[in-house]
Amino acid sequence: MAEPTTQPPVQHSDPAYPLLETDLQIFKAVHVIEEGHRRSLLKDLQPSDLADHKYHLEGEKKEVLRRAVCTHSTREHLLNNIIAWAKETSSETIYWLFSPAGMGKTTIAYTIVCCFELATSEDTIVLGGNFLCSQQFEETRFVTCIIHMIIYHLALRCKAFADALTHSRKLDTINQNLCTQLDGLLIGPWQASESARLADLLAPPEYIIVIDALDEIDGAGGSEFLRDLLNVINENCLNGLKFFATSWPDPNLVAHVGSFADKQLYHLEVVLFEEAQADISTYLNASLRHGGDKVIKRVVAAAAGLFIYASTVVKYIGKHTPLEQRKLLKKLFPVSIIPEMLPGATALLDELYIQILLHAFGEFDRDIYLHRLHILFTFLCTSECTSTSIVTGLLTEDSNTDPDSSSVSKANSAVSEMSIADDILQRLYVVLYTENNKVLWYHKSFPDFFFDQNQSKTYWCDRAEHHQRLMASCFRVMKEGLQFNIANIKSSFVFDCDNTTLLDAVTNKISSTLSCTCQNWDQHFFSTALPALNPISYEPAEVEWAM
C-alpha cells in the first residue's frame, strides 16, 4: 500500500503576503483589545440583573416580582395595537401606556418584551433593551439604573451603537444628571451610529426599548425620566429607535406632551375599564374552571377592572380542589352580599396603597402630614361623595375654632385649605378622581384599606372618631350660618314658583358647605360612638337645636 504523500506548504510568490498576514494578525489583536475594552466600559454601567425580563426569579424575589405573560385570549386588542405600532416604521417614537394601579400594565409589558425577544431576522424590529421597575429592590427603583440598563442592552445588541458609545468618550457621564446621561450615553452615540447601522445589512432596521412601571421609581423620578425622555425625543431625531413605557396616569405630563408641535412623536394609550373587565372575565374562567358562571361574574364585578384583585383571588382559591374552590367562591362571593375584599388576600393591594401614600405624604412634617390625612379621611367619610370645596369648608371651620391646629395653620400659611385639598387629590390621582365636581375612588378596596387597622396600620382611619369630628364641624357650620329667613324672602304669601329671585337668593345666601351639612349631619351623628361624646363640647340644647 502506497504511503500518503504530504502536501508541501503553499509558497506565495507575492512579497506582500507576509505583510498582509501581519496586518491581519494585528487587526485581530486590536479587535480583541477593543472588544475587551468595550466590555470593560459596559460593565462600568453596572446593569441591574433583577430589572431584566430574562432574570430567573427564585424564592422571595419570585414571590415579590411576579412576572408572567398575559393569559391566552386576554388583552388581545391592546397587545395587537402595541405590536402593530412597533412594527410600523412610520409610527410614533414612543408609546406611553397608562392606567390606575393594579390594571395589569406590568403583565402587558412583560408580554411585549417576550414577544420582541423572540423576533426573527425577518422582523422589522427587535428588542433593544428592557427595564422592569420595582419598588421592592434598590437596583430596580432608581432612575439612573434605567439609563444604564438600556444603554448596556442596546450596546450588546447593536454593534454600531456600541462602537459609537465606546468612541464617544462619554461614559464618564454615568454619574451626572439625567439629561446629561441621556444626551451623552444615548442620543449622541445613537445618532453617530446611524450610517454604520444602515450599512450593516444583517442588522435589524429598528430596536424597541421597553420600560415598565415608572411609577415604582423613587419619588417623582419616574415622571421626571419620562418627561426628560419625551423632551429629548422632541428635540432630537432617533431614527430606528422606539420606546414603550408604562406608568400610572400623570395629567401634568399629558398636558406637557400635548404642547409638542410634532404629534407624531408620541402615542398615548389608556387601559380602558371595559376591556379590562372583559379580560378579567376571560382570565378567571381560564384559571377557575370549576367556579361557575354566576360566581365568576360576581368576582369580575368585585374586581372592578383590577387584575391585581383577580389574580389575588386566583392565588387564594387556586390551591384547593375543584369542590373546595366552588365552596370557597360561594362563601366569599355570596349572591345576597356585596363582595368584599378577601380576608387574608389583601397583602398585595395593602402594599400598593402604602407605597402610594408614602409617595404622596412621605415628604411632609408630622403636623402637615396629619392635616392632609384628615382631609383625605373626610373625602372617605362624607356620607355622599363631595367636592374639595365642601370638604375644605368643613375643615376650615374646624381649624378656625380648634386651638390645637395652630401648628398646621402656620405650616400652611402660604396656601389655602382649598389648594391643599386639590394638591392631595392631584398626588393621589392613581386612586382618586373627580367627576361632576365629586371626589371618587377607582376601587372600593381603597377606603376599605383605611378603615381596617390591620391593613392600613399607621394610616388607619378611626371612622367613629372622624365622624365625631365631622359632626362637630356640621354643628358649628349650621350654628354660624343658619338664620331666620336666610334668603331674605319679603313675603311668605308669595309662592316659590312666583318668586323669580328665590333661586339666586338661595344660591347667594346658602353656601354649598352649609347645604351639605344641613342634609348630612345626621349621618355623621349616627356613625359616631355616642358614649364617647364630650358633654362639654356638645351641650344637650345644641343637639336638640340641630335635631
| Cα–Cα dist 116/207, whole Å | 9
Single-letter amino acid, residue 443? H
> What letter does residue 497 receive in the DSSP assignment?
G
For residue 126, list its beta bridge partners: 207
**Radius of gyration of the chain measured on its C-alpha atoms:** 31
Which of 157-171, 173-187, 244-258, 489-503 has the lowest average pLDDT? 489-503
| Cβ-based burial of 317 (10 A; exposed 0-12, middle 13-18, buried ≥19) | buried
| Cβ-based burial of 517 (10 A; exposed 0-12, middle 13-18, buried ≥19) | buried
Mean pLDDT on 97-105 = 86
Residue 518 gets the label, from left (phi > 0), alpha (psi -120 to 50) or beta, of alpha
Distances (CA, A) of 269 to 70, 82, 125, 336: 18, 10, 21, 37
Residue 464, pLDDT > 80, answer yes
Place of cell 309662592: 495
Residue 87, pLDDT > 60, answer yes
Single-letter amino acid, residue 268? L
Mean pLDDT on 49-74 = 82
Of the chain, the percentage scoring pLDDT greater than 70 comes to: 81
Place of cell 377606603: 447
540 vs 170, higher pLDDT: 170
For residue 208, list its beta bridge partners: 127, 242
Please write the tens of the pLDDT for every residue from 476-527. 888 878 888 777 777 777 787 877 777 777 777 777 778 777 877 877 787 7
Cα angle 306, 307, 312; round to 5: 105
Q: How many residues does the chain have?
A: 547
Strand residues in 73-201 grouped as ranges (E): 94-98, 125-132
31 vs 454, higher pLDDT: 454
Cell numbers placing 296: 365568576
Model confidence at 541, pLDDT cuts 50, 70, 90, reads very low
**Per-range mean pLDDT, top range of 304-308, 394-398, 541-545:** 304-308
| pLDDT for the residue numbered 39 | 66
| pLDDT for the residue numbered 252 | 84
Give the 3-state secondary structure of residue 184.
helix
> What letter does residue 192 receive in the DSSP assignment?
H
The answer to whether 70 and 280 have CB atoms below 8 angstroms apart is no
| Cα–Cα dist 207/154, whole Å | 8
CA nearest to 186, candidates 210, 157, 162, 159? 162
Please write the tens of the pLDDT for every residue from 314-342. 877 877 888 888 888 887 777 655 555 55
| pLDDT for the residue numbered 337 | 53
Domain boundaries, the chain: 45-55+64-271, 275-342, 359-529
| Beta carbons within 8 Å of 473's beta carbon, 6+ residues apart | 394, 395, 397, 398, 517
**Domain covering 45-55+64-271 assigned CATH 3.40.50.300 in the classification:** yes
